[in-house]
Structure 1
Amino acid sequence: MAALDWLPTELFPPLFMAAAAGGHNDVVKAMVVHWPFIRLPLGALLESGHSHPDIFKAALDGFDILLARKVPPRRCKLRVLDLRQNTGTNFWKMWAGSQSIASVTSPEDAASTQARTVIPKRENSRAGEGPHPSASMALLTDLCFLETISDELLAFLNERVGQGKVLPPLLCRKLEFVSLSELPIIEEVLNAVQPDSVQEVGVHCGWDLSSLQWFLPHLFQMGHLSTLHLSRISLDPLRTPSSFKMEKILRKLASFLLRLHQLQHLVMEYVFFVNDQLGQLLRCVPTRLEALALKNCLPLDSDMSSLCLCPCTSQLRSLDLSGIFMARLNHGFLPSLLERVSATLTHLNLDDCGMNDSGLTALQPALGQCSQLSTLLLGGNRASMAVLQGLLQHSLPLCKFSLLGLPVPQDCYDHPQGPVRQDALAEVMQELRVTLQAYRPLSVRFVPSTRHRAWDEVLIHMDR
């Protein structure tokens, strides 16, 4: 261990990789304490699979030692312990010798290809003291409650809270809630997250409206949020709020949306509290969205009509309305919306919308205007071969399809709940080949018109 005081900087990364691969936890912990670079991309090393399962905890233990020291070791320059995976960093490849390290030999930051991270400095709790080294250290991670990579991290944070220690700043590009069980420290963890670092938030854990209200104060501070995904948020039948309380919560959510000046992607899935309120919320979005998804919801006519009026939906590139039962809605809103975004829309998902021949026929003129459309998904709807042929013949010359998801035509079934007739399907595929062969290569996916017949799905690729 004493050799770390004089070991050449260039030997730290290959030695760290060897220690991680061999499960030498004490060496890893000591090397974190003496790390001579600003950033340690630990997550990228764990992702590569060349490490022992306990290395993650050993590295956190080393980081904990640094947080506790008033004066860091002479050589240590570590400021960011990067726990993210899928970062695309080539740090370890460079130092392993598979790529040139000429551009990263500076001891300032061997991961110079990564964007610089601004670490907030904290004020001292005691007057007259100089800044503590831990004030300029941070954990960089995509935090998910709960995932395997986060279990060790949350245990580490929980231990620090239990010991009365201050949590280091958490820089989280992505923040997800999959489960909130057995997380008594969640409030402390969220308070340690630096709001300006968060770009994506996903809530997928079955909250009710009251739980969402609890989280809103944290959302209010995330001014750089670009993606918001709300899933399975409903009214708790045992704690149904009064209409006044519900309006108050929705006003809070609307005021939060007003602050999101970088929001590009909004996803609401199995969200049932926005009925007759969707227009009010979308009018508060200050940006023009790139992607909007309303999946498996139960909107009213007023909600869907608002999509054609809100400024945020005027330049959509992706629209996902899968799982919305169109038969109960006014058929006029969807053609109007498609005409509105015809110059920008590239992806349209209408899977499992309960559409029939009349609904699909009504879409033909609007689809023909979507000159940039490359993906069209219509699986799970009921359509005849004649209507599918008409839709394709009308839209193929005008659109830029590269992927089509089509329902297996009703002509291929002897009766609505029966199995697909393979001879009829083969004939349909041949007819579609004739229709499609004059156009660019296409992937075409056939999806059954009822969900429980998943084995009927057929995928073909049309080569020129």
Structure 2
Amino acid sequence: MLFLALFQEAFSHRLPNIVRAMMAAWPFPYIPVGTLLTSGTLEFSQVVVEGLRALLTQQDRPVTGNVRILDFRRVAHEIWTVEAKTEDGDCSTETVSEKQAVKPPPRYEQRQRLKVITDLYSRFQQEEEETDLLPGAQHRKDSLQLCCVNMKIVLLSEDHVIMFRQIFRLWDIEMLEFTLDWNWSSLLRFYPYLAHMKNLHTLSLVWMDKNTYEHAYTSEYKWFVRAFISELSKISSLQHLYMNGICFLSDNMRHLLSQCSKLSKVNFYTNDFSMTVLSDLLHYTANLSKITMEQYPAPQECYELGVVSKERFVQFCPVLMDTLRAIRQPKRVYFATDVCNRCSKRCVYEEETRLCSCLQ
């Protein structure tokens, strides 16, 4: 189409006035904003934003309001053929195993509310634009539909947990990452919503400081772990599971693995498991026929006073590998120690032993 050919030419040659004017006159229902913002310099991104702002100002006029979806995700788009796509227009990616190329909706899609698709990265000290976006979206729910596919939360407050629940459609979320400190109360408030995440395929839980989970042995924490695992086990779409330093109780972990049959990747690095617990855990992976990558922590027996023993690591990890191979035929399996405090590397056992530089 002539419009896109002209826009491509102006965008490629960094002609700010033309790009700004053409953005303000964008004729298609779909705009891959994230791709446009990352395809140029910071200064030129401002040109795109100015044109987009002018376009959205016109959206209030029924005659000219044509845009239906703004996609802020910074992933691969075919932005020069948006008028020819015939996909269904939802905000999900195809599958976790396929390339994350986002496809725009068809021209015929006529939605009353403006859909904004975005990946969310929220941290304890948020930037000004983040704190403005969420309350603004909350107050414009009648005209704005905020769709988040990839959500990353670092030290989230309980107030924001409530806000996310009110703003986002939980079934849109496909990838969810939590980074936690010793205070896991925000996750306690969030976990009941897991049952609504019907399309969640990747969940990552990372504990910031392994030395702060003495609470893992309290009765309150044990109750929470059981409830959390119970909700997590109900997510039939879950394919990738990463739990680093979470210190979940081993019996609950086994229950989770026996329930989530679609798992293709698991990562349990930085958890304190003994040889006995790891061996039991491996037996509960017998039904994971789709699993292609497995990452397990080296057992506690590999450490002496908190320091990795080279001899023990070389001794115990092959035993665990043999245990797994007696259960099924694994594809890619790794056993690894905690990250070394000196060289920031792990000792890893796969088919052979790779020691961190401090132990070589």
- TM-based fold match above 0.5: yes
Which of structures 1 and 2 has the larger relative contact order (alpha carbons within 8 angstroms, sep 6+)?
2
C-alpha displacement at 1:264, in angstroms? 1.2
Q: 2:68 aligns with which of 73, 79, 82?
A: 79
Aligned to 2:90: 117
- Please give the alpha-carbon distance, in whole angstroms, between the structure 2 residues aligned to 1:246 and 1:185: 22
Q: Taking structure 1 as reference, are residues 63 and 351 closer, same or farther at Cα in structure 2, changes over 3 Å only? A: farther
SS in 1 for 2:83: coil
The partner residue of 1:339 within 289, 311, 326 is: 326
Measured at CA, do residues 40 and 216 of structure 1 come closer, stay the same or move farther in structure 2, by a change above 3 Å? same
Q: Cα offset for 1:37?
A: 1.0
User: What letter matches 1:52 in structure 2?
Assistant: F
Give 2:347's aligned residue.
Answer: 380
Structure 1 residue 231: Cα displacement: 0.6
User: Match for residue 367 of structure 1?
Assistant: none
Correspondence 1:308 to 2:217? no
Decide whether aligned partners of structure 1 residues 219 and 291 sit closer, same or farther in structure 2, where only a CA change above 3 A counts.
same
Cα 1:315/1:25, change in 2 over 3 Å: same
Unaligned runs of 5+ in 1: 1-8, 93-103, 120-132, 355-377, 383-402, 409-446, 454-464
Equivalent AA in structure 2 for residue 169 of structure 1: Q
Please say if residues 266 and 289 of structure 1, whose CA atoms lie closer than 8 Å, have aligned partners that are also in contact: yes
Determine the C-alpha separation between the residues in 2 that align with 1:310 and 1:14.
Answer: 55
- By how many angstroms is 1:137 displaced? 1.7
Measure the CA separation in 1 of the matches of 2:8 and 2:85: 19
What is the alpha-carbon distance in structure 2 between the residues aligned to residue 118 and residue 43 of structure 1?
A: 14
**Structure 2 residue matching 1:218: 3-state secondary structure:** helix
Q: How does 1:62-461 map to 2 (within 5 A)?
A: 62=54, 65=57, 69=60, 71-74=61-64, 76-87=65-76, 89-92=77-80, 104=81, 110=83, 112=85, 116-117=89-90, 135-146=112-123, 154-158=130-134, 160=136, 164-166=139-141, 168-180=144-156, 187-206=162-181, 208-232=183-207, 240=215, 243-283=218-258, 285-301=259-275, 303-304=277-278, 305-310=280-285, 313-322=288-297, 324-327=299-302, 333-342=320-329, 345-352=330-337, 380=347, 406-407=353-354, 448=357, 450=359
SS of alignment partner, residue 144 of structure 2: coil
| Alpha-carbon separation, structure 2, partners of 1:200 and 1:341 | 28
Question: Matched residues, percent identical?
Answer: 18
Contact 1:16 1:31 in 2 (8 A): no
Structure 2 counterpart of 1:52: 44
TM-score by length of 1: 0.56
* Alignment gaps of 5+ in structure 2: 93-109, 304-311, 340-344
Query: Over the residues paired in the alignment, what is the CA RMSD in angstroms?
Result: 4.3
Choose 1 or 2 for highest CA Rg.
1
Answering whether residue 8 of structure 2 is matched by residue 10 of structure 1, we say no
How high is the TM-score relative to the length of structure 2?
0.70
Separation (CA, whole Å) in 2 of partners of 1:42 and 1:64 = 13
Q: Deviations over 1:346-372 (max 9, x none)?
A: 322234379xxxxxxxxxxxxxxxxxx
Change (3 A) 1:17 1:250: farther
Match of 1:40 among 21, 27, 31: 31
